[in-house]
Amino acid sequence: MLLLLDILTTAAILFVVSVGLLAIFGVLKIINFAHGAWLTIGAYCAVVAVKLGLNPWAGLPIAFVAGALLGGVAELLIIRPLYRRPLDAILATWGLGIVIGQLIALAFGRDVQLIPNLMSGTVRVLSVDYSVYRLFMLFAALAIGVLFALTIEGTRLGLSARAVIMNETLARSLGIDTDRVRLATFMIGAGLAALAGVLLTPLTSVDPNMGVAWLIGAFMLVMVADTSYLALAAACLVFGGAQVLVSTFVSPVLGGISVAVLAALLLRINPRGFSRA
Amino acid sequence: MSEVRAAEVLSLCDISSGYGAVSVVKSVTLSIRPGEIVALLGKNGMGKSTLLKTILRLIPLRGGVIHVGGVDQAHLTPARMIAWGLSYVPQEQALFQDLTIRDNLRLAVRSDGELGAALDHAFGYFPFLRDRLKQKAGTLSGGEQKMLILARALMLRPRLLLIDEISEGLQPSVVDRIVGVLRDERSRDRTAMLVVEQNLDFALRIADRWAVLKMGEIDDEGSCGQNAHARVLEHLSL
Amino acid sequence: MPEDTALLNGRPASTTALEWRAPAAAALVAALIVWISPLVLGAFAANVLTRSMLYATLAVTVDLLWGFTGILTFGQAAFFGVGAYATAMTMTSLGSTPAWMAAALALAIVLPMVLGLVVGWLSFYHGSTPLYASVISLVFPIVVTQLVYSGGLLTGSSSGLVGYDTLPLDLEGFFRLSGLVMVAVTLAAWVFVRSDAGKLLVAVRDNDVRCAYLGVSPRRVQIMLTVALAGVAGVAGFLFAHASGVVAPENTGFLFGTQVVIWVALGGRGSLLGPVFATLAIDYLSASLSGDLPFLWQLVLGAAFVIIIIFLPDGVAGLARRASASIFRSSKQTRVPRIALAAPHSAVERSATLLKVSGLARSFGSLSVLENINLEIRPGELVSIVGPNGAGKTTLIRCLSDGSEPFKGVVEIGGKPMKGLTPDRVVALGVGRKFQVASIFESLTVAECLRLARTTSETPSGIGSAPRLSLPVASIEILRLTGLIDLIASPAGLLSHGMKQALELGMVLALEPRLILLDEPTAGLTKAERATIGTVLRHLTAEAGYAIILVEHDLDFVREISSRVVVLHQGRLVLDGAVDDVVNSETVRTIYSGGGHV
């Protein structure tokens, strides 16, 4: 039972962290290596909220907006010029991540920031005492997933985004402003990443480099999922499950790399997303 | 050709374009007035599709000037031209196969508010679409897909229609239907059309004028009359 | 043509001597500087620079992989770390006698090379993408780091290994050793990239498909390079373990790997010297500034990195190159080889069937592109395949040249079935393919492209550039008739469209393939250029006994040169016969005027 809850909540956390990256990879067809930095930005928005005396939950909307706005600036200045150079886009976004990390360190210092948990304590679930917050993450992942699905399936922007994902030239020849779609998507993806950063604060220590550890796992999951958020959810379950199982029964250290290794092997056998990138 | 008669919907002045180092369209001069249907004929690889894509700005113009609706195309984006009333029927990959018919049509209108009226117009021509809105476009037959593409192009009552080889691979009955639709559209709305074709019979049935594109230039042109067929056939034959 | 006619192009034949002198002299000077430096530098500077020079060696390997071969890799750091750890672990757990030291060195070379083979096999396979290779190069260092962390006492876990016995050298000694290794590796790399074999790297980067179709497996080049450079990284790691006396997980990690890429990018990818100087400068400055402005420095570096990637992809070296080119008028003495006639391959049997296609079918999902194609071609035939767009012509050519295409039916070349063979192995059966869009190596000169085309006949030298380029008579004729012979020192990317087509044809003919597949060779050519190509093709089949399959839209061209015409319509072969019969047939007329519905 404990194992099952661990697997489900790990999958939920992975999903929340990766969904922003998926949106960007799907529409813009690049891997945003600054994703880790945006997680950090989000976490520090929570820090700022607390410093301003606000409820820590206020960090969520602040982070989303801040992340989206900064994402917009990044897309215009850095991503757009590298439209035809995807490998260089990876490098440039990595550089951007370094810059953001150092700016945060300069502004807030290198030390770990302590902020009150969004939620704490345990609750009894079917004969097991489990962390309330981790259970909340299940709900958060579902909520974010549903909102994401509604946006992409129901709204006009979502339809345009799907069109651009499938065939950008055709979309343009129908009069769709593909530049605007890409900008909007990047902003939403960045906003989601910052949001995820806030949600990570009770689970990990908040310091200027906290996001990097999540980057590789997130991007391997996105590569496996390609453009489908349902596939991402499935990947999070399968690989998250593997991570938990390996951590529990083999070693926590090897558990940490199981997502990356399994994903790399799977992609060797079945390239999927690589044929589009 | 420096003055552009404001009445022309499309004016191409000595234009050239291509891919990379290759110059596909070398020097084309052509103009179309409202309500006129011009057939652009020629063998494969002569530059017909490239010409249409250049007009729509999907491929950059290398030389010459294009006026769409009297405005220099250099100041327009594909979105603006489409808002003005330009519609394009591509030859390949013209539909989102995994999206429903409704979504495919929806992507062509600017806002969902306009969708209702646009759909009615489309159903007017091809009623079979009304019952199949939720079907994925990829499940339609080849002929039905072409009709869907044409419906999408006509939905917004365009002023200028660019059609790239719509009759390719179609049954004669479907081709007949399309001829009817295009004639109808022209007589009702004075829609101008540039029809790229390899199918001589179809092209000459609907066009007022014809031009043959060879090696990126217009080799010959004329009005559709009795000996048009024979003349064009000479250019296309082996 | 008389044997051994040297077609002169106005340049002296052997300039290889000159090529040796300049870099050797520079290397000597560098070695001297390395030798003297410890006498003038303080202890701190010497210590830091010892490490920086080893990092610079690593940067050279990354530049070879990324700048020259187009493989963006973060993994060299892992090979470095493996070498360092292998050394430290041997010293710690096994002993530090000279015998063990030698064993450690051997291990520091062999172990990374074995891992390089695994990484290479994973990353490079038929159909792999550069992005996937980069992904693997990211995951690999992470795996290595985690393995180190979980190694307990053996690897020292997070504390690393320290206190083991090192080589009996003092600070000056380690400085000189590291410096000399750096100079040696850089010199070797410099010589290699300028040699004929070194051009293969650029060829794989520019156009790996064309490499395969010249009979050179790009995967093998990539894997061999990875393995070799893993060994070099391992040596640097070995020296690092000894010079610094401590190895830690950070020396294997992906953060270190990204740092090396940043140094190469800032210095200038593809320039070798740029990455060396950038590494030395940045690493030294990073260490010196540590006391005062550590974070601001990282910020500046990160920002500089982003700016360079977007605006100056060639880095500082590129800037320097452009500046010096405008100051000193470009005096690029590109060595130009003398063109000579090659002895032809064994003569082709006129009667034997060269190509036999039985029941070939190819479908994409439910869409059938080719159905039941049966075809036999003999030497001396010039067969044109015609048909409207979408008839399946290019798909047919692909199925005849790339055995990894999932087609049904049998295709035999010279009696040997080619199904399942990758393009480079099909080329070995005697097939040459020319693409519709000229497929050449844009960064290389015409002469270099042609020499690469001869790779399977004459192994290129890894040290210098051969003064003579032997080409078969057909290639030489193409060069002469099109005027390309006067442009053999010109970069291929600057040629006109028609010249590029001619170059590609010259390259394909240099393979001396018995069966030549041409996809729309006259697309975009002028009338005169088409006439020239037509003459050469006719000559090849009539006199040299080659067989040519030609996909064409220009039916006049087809009528002039073909011995046989095959008509493809909606994936089926509808006609196959003599030129006059087919061209005047009713079927063809109908198909082309749009009336044909099958």
CA distance to C55, C191, C312, C358, C370, per residue, from C61 (Å): 10, 14, 21, 48, 46
Return mean pLDDT, chain A: 90
pLDDT of residue A126: 80
CA distance to B41, B137, B174, B201, per residue, from B147 (Å): 21, 11, 8, 19
What value does the mean pLDDT take over residues A147-163? 92
Neighbours of A128 (CB within 10 A): 13
Q: Cα distance from B82 to chain A (closest Cα, Å)?
A: 6
Which residues of B fall within a CB distance of 8 Å from C584? 238
Closest residue to C553, CB basis, from B44, B168, B233: B44
pLDDT of residue A274: 47
pLDDT of residue B56: 92
CA distance to B23, C333, C384, C485, C561, per residue, from C532 (Å): 20, 31, 17, 14, 11
Summarised one tens digit per residue, pLDDT across range B147-177 is 999 999 999 889 999 999 888 778 888 888 8
Q: Is B138 on the interface with A (CB under 8 A)?
A: no
Closest residue to B83, CB basis, from A163, A169, A175: A175
Summarised one tens digit per residue, pLDDT across range C192-228 is 999 999 999 999 999 999 999 999 999 999 999 999 9
pLDDT of residue A160: 94
Comparing A167 with C392, the larger pLDDT belongs to A167
Tell me the C-alpha distance between C531 and C534, whole Å: 5
pLDDT of residue C390: 64
pLDDT of residue A111: 85
What value does the mean pLDDT take over residues A196-210? 91
pLDDT at B1 over 60: no
Tokens in use for C154?
Answer: 């053996």
**φ, ψ at C166 (rounded to 5°):** -115, 175
The pLDDT confidence band at residue A150, using thresholds 50, 70 and 90, is very high
User: What is the b/e burial string over A260-273, where b = at least 16 CB atoms within 10 angstroms of the residue's CB?
Assistant: bbbbbebbbeebbb
pLDDT of residue C12: 39
Please give the angle made by the CA atoms of C74, C77 and C80, to the nearest 5 degrees. Answer: 150
Where would I find the H helices in C124-217? 130-149, 171-194, 199-206, 208-212
Tell me the C-alpha distance between C207 and C442, whole Å: 8
Which residues of A fall within a CB distance of 8 Å from B98? 166
Instruction: Look up residue A235 and give its DSSP letter.
Output: H
Interface of C with A (CB under 8 A): 72, 122, 125, 127-132, 134-136, 138-139, 142-143, 146, 149-150, 254-255, 258, 261-262, 265, 295-296, 298-299, 301-303, 305-306, 309-310, 313
pLDDT of residue C331: 47
Closest residue to A264, CB basis, from C130, C135, C262: C135
pLDDT of residue B47: 81
Helix (H, G, I), strand (E, B) or coil at B110: coil
Q: Kindly list the averaged pLDDT for each block of 10 residues, start to end, along chain C of length 598.
A: 37 50 88 90 91 96 96 95 94 86 94 96 88 92 91 84 86 93 95 92 94 94 96 96 92 92 95 95 86 77 94 90 71 70 70 87 84 91 83 88 91 90 93 90 93 90 85 89 89 87 92 91 78 87 87 83 88 87 75 48
Sorted by sequence, the CB contacts under 8 Å of residue C330 that are 6+ apart come out as none
User: Of A146, A150, A187, A141, which Cα lies nearest the Cα of A27?
Assistant: A187
Contact A163 B107 (CB under 8 A): yes
pLDDT at A60 over 70: yes
- Cite the beta strand spans of B33-186 per DSSP E: 37-41, 63-68, 71-72, 86-89, 160-164
Q: Is A269 on the interface with C (CB under 8 A)?
A: no
The pLDDT confidence band at residue B21, using thresholds 50, 70 and 90, is low
The pLDDT confidence band at residue B237, using thresholds 50, 70 and 90, is low
Contact C306 A81 (CB under 8 A): no
pLDDT at A140 over 60: yes
pLDDT of residue A197: 95
Which residues of C fall within a CB distance of 8 Å from A81? 310
Closest residue to B45, CB basis, from C390, C523, C559: C523
Contact A277 C127 (CB under 8 A): no
Pairing of strands B10-19, B63-68: antiparallel
pLDDT > 70 in chain B, percent: 95
Contact B201 C594 (CB under 8 A): yes
pLDDT of residue C11: 39
User: Of A265, A188, A258, which Cα lies nearest the Cα of A223?
Assistant: A265
Q: Cα distance from C530 to chain B (closest Cα, Å)?
A: 13
Residue identified by tokens 């290699």 is C192
Summarised one tens digit per residue, pLDDT across range A63-89 is 999 999 999 999 999 999 998 888 899
**φ, ψ at C549 (rounded to 5°):** -115, 130
Tokens in use for C462?
Answer: 């890894």
ipTM of the predicted structure?
Answer: 0.90
Sorted by sequence, the CB contacts under 8 Å of residue B164 that are 6+ apart come out as B48, B49, B52, B88, B89, B90, B91, B196
Summarised one tens digit per residue, pLDDT across range C131-170 is 899 999 999 999 999 999 888 888 888 888 888 888 888 8
pLDDT of residue C150: 84
Return mean pLDDT, chain C: 87
Helix (H, G, I), strand (E, B) or coil at A50: helix
Contact A95 C138 (CB under 8 A): no
